[in-house]
Structure 1
Amino acid sequence: MTTTAHIGTGEQPWFVIHSQSDVYQYTPRIHGVSQIYRFQAGEHSDATFAIPDGCVDIMFDCTEQSPSAKICGSTVCAQNAKLKQGHHYFGVRFMPGMILKSFDISTKELISQRLNLFDFVQDKTSLLEQLVAPQDFSTQAQIIEQYLIHDTIVAPSSKTQTVIEAIIQHSGNIQVAQIEQLTGISKRTMQRLFSDEIGLSPKAFCRIVRCQSAIRTINQTSDLRLIELANDLGFSDQPHFMREFKKLISSTPCDYQKQILKSSYASRIHTR
């Protein structure tokens, strides 16, 4: 029932559900970048959560009166995204474990952090002015692509990437012992590398990917039975699924499903 395609790109459904208007997304041909996006925060911006996705984002507040930019690390549970109603946000989401070399900071150091981008980059005035100027999404995407291709995207070690790929391939429904068998990477090495490079344990990353897989399936399936989804993802029972979902997504699966249907989720997203 679940699909592994694009699970590693990270999904932030509350940005879509609580947006004031349609959301625009674009997948550039840049290795390590999963998505470029734009949306306007709606009236429920104070209830808009960032959920765990294992990814680092650069998010620009493009409101002319008070522009700003943040580097946002993955959360480990649902956290308020601190968006401002009516403000226009433009962002770049990297693949899990990826980050720009020029930032000189690790994804581990960014877990659950929101840092000022311009403490890490020098050409801040030019970049911000270009993105804030009134223009369409395609133009903004071109600007940030040009910025990204002149930098280097740092990836985790090949062993860590192998483990990440194995976890994503199994939608997070895999035990560390199984990963060890599949990849030939010992549990001890796996734990050390994930802690040093990602800032999470392999088990924690499995939890993130499993819940990301759950929300993606709910987003795409209108007549989904949640008990079947829980079983498909390997949860021991439905209450376990509900507890885990609530912690990571800030909603019960049932309430989340209702919000997806009520908001006409899929029709609000425009992919370029």
Structure 2
Amino acid sequence: MDTLTIIRAGYKPIQPTITPAGESVTYEEILPDHRLRPYIYCYWQLKTKAPLQAPFTYRVVADGCIDVFFELDRPEASFVMGFCKRYTEFELDNAFNYVGVRFLPTMFPQLFSVDASSLSNRTEDLGAVIPSMARFVADRFAPDLPTPAVWQRLDDYFLQHLADIDFNQDPRLYGAIATIMQKSGVLNLEKDIDSGISPRQLRRLFEYYIGDTAKTFSKVVRFQNILRAKPSTQNLRENKLFYDAGYYDQAHFIKEFKSLYGVTPSRAFGR
């Protein structure tokens, strides 16, 4: 399989469905142009249909990706959120309309030559990281822009940018990532990954292109695979699925899940 399709084929990062505000807040994911899909998992929009009675707390779970996002009402303020090894909560106003770009793992550093580890576990002003993209967002987006035009302008920008990129298809890095994904993050890194380079070199590649170590990335992949499986609380308890997912015991599973998601598995799956 070509390097550019390894991650897209093997990884589908999940964010929780919006529930706390009922139907007043919506979250939608939109596919980019097919030529961008090896690099960008989706565009997304998080918005209120009407002003809420109180500020809104939005939780982002660990997904292994880097996101760029901005509010259509204030496009002059744009941000980039790096790889995070735990959940993150954002305190939003009672009315908002956020647009975002979710890059597949390794792709943001590939496209913009930015060390992913410099963004890990934080949100930075996009203008301080990629000034040209921040200017594009500020100049080309506005509150009254029709939604289809939002996606089209993002497509046009990234397609034009992609034309000038010399993609580094390092088989040592992508071979290791493919192994982690094929094994759903449940593996012995020293035994199962034969990259042909030293652990220190592999660590440097992961930190630059992913934002953290292969071990941490594997934990996120394992967690995301559990989310995708959508197990019931009863199955988790009776069938001991946490053993199959590589956890030592139930307490280990609950602790790590809560760190990555923000709540316990019973609250997350709720059935």
TM range (shorter): 0.7 to 0.9
Q: Distance in 1 between matches of 2:244 and 2:252?
A: 13
Question: For residue 99 of structure 1, what is the aligned residue in structure 2?
Answer: 108
Q: What does the per-residue CA deviation read over 1:20-58, in whole Å, with 9 as the maximum and x for residues that have no partner?
A: 333221222213111111121667865322222221111
Q: What does the per-residue CA deviation read over 1:56-78, in whole Å, with 9 as the maximum and x for residues that have no partner?
A: 111111125x7521011011112
| Cα pair 1:98 1:155 within 8 Å, conserved | no
Q: Distance in 2 between matches of 1:233 and 1:110?
A: 28
Question: For residue 205 of structure 2, what is the aligned residue in structure 1?
Answer: 193
Q: Distance in 2 between matches of 1:199 and 1:164?
A: 13
Q: Distance in 2 between matches of 1:123 and 1:196?
A: 20
Q: 1:25 aligns with which of 17, 20, 29?
A: 29
Distance change (3 Å), C-alpha of 1:77 and 1:145: same
Question: For residue 148 of structure 1, what is the aligned residue in structure 2?
Answer: 158
The amino acid that maps onto 1:25 is: E
| Cα pair 2:127 2:135 within 8 Å, conserved | no
Pair 1:8-2:11 in alignment: yes
Q: Distance in 1 between matches of 2:53 and 2:88?
A: 18
Q: What does the per-residue CA deviation read over 1:182-216, in whole Å, with 9 as the maximum and x for residues that have no partner?
A: x5555444233223443311111111111111122
Pair 1:70-2:74 in alignment: no
159-168 or 200-209, larger mean C-alpha shift: 159-168
Question: For residue 234 of structure 1, what is the aligned residue in structure 2?
Answer: 246
| Cα pair 1:176 1:187 within 8 Å, conserved | no
Question: For residue 215 of structure 1, what is the aligned residue in structure 2?
Answer: 227
Distance change (3 Å), C-alpha of 1:156 and 1:237: farther
State the shift of 1:129 in Å: 4.5
The amino acid that maps onto 1:95 is: L
What are the equivalent positions in structure 2 for 1:56-67 lying under 5 Å apart? 56-63=66-73
Pair 1:179-2:189 in alignment: no
| Cα pair 1:7 1:209 within 8 Å, conserved | no
Distance change (3 Å), C-alpha of 1:59 and 1:100: same
Question: For residue 204 of structure 1, what is the aligned residue in structure 2?
Answer: 216
Pair 1:52-2:62 in alignment: yes
Q: Distance in 1 between matches of 2:107 and 2:46?
A: 23
Task: Structure 1: state its 5+ residue gaps.
Answer: 262-272
What are the equivalent positions in structure 2 for 1:122-133 lying under 5 Å apart? 122=132, 124-133=134-143
TM-score, with length taken from structure 2: 0.79
CA-based RMSD = 3.0
Paired-residue identity, %: 23
Q: Distance in 2 between matches of 1:195 and 1:106?
A: 8
Distance change (3 Å), C-alpha of 1:161 and 1:84: farther
Task: Structure 2: state its 5+ residue gaps.
Answer: 1-6
Distance change (3 Å), C-alpha of 1:50 and 1:23: closer
Q: What does the per-residue CA deviation read over 1:197-250, in whole Å, with 9 as the maximum and x for residues that have no partner?
A: 4331111111111111112222xx568612343133121222111011011111
Q: Distance in 1 between matches of 2:181 and 2:126?
A: 29
Question: For residue 266 of structure 1, what is the aligned residue in structure 2?
Answer: none
What SS does structure 1 have at the residue aligned with 2:98? Answer: strand
Pair 1:245-2:257 in alignment: yes
Q: 1:254 aligns with which of 250, 266, 270?
A: 266
| Cα pair 2:82 2:211 within 8 Å, conserved | no
Distance change (3 Å), C-alpha of 1:102 and 1:197: closer
The amino acid that maps onto 1:110 is: L
What SS does structure 2 have at the residue aligned with 1:86? Answer: coil
Q: Distance in 2 between matches of 1:241 and 1:43?
A: 36
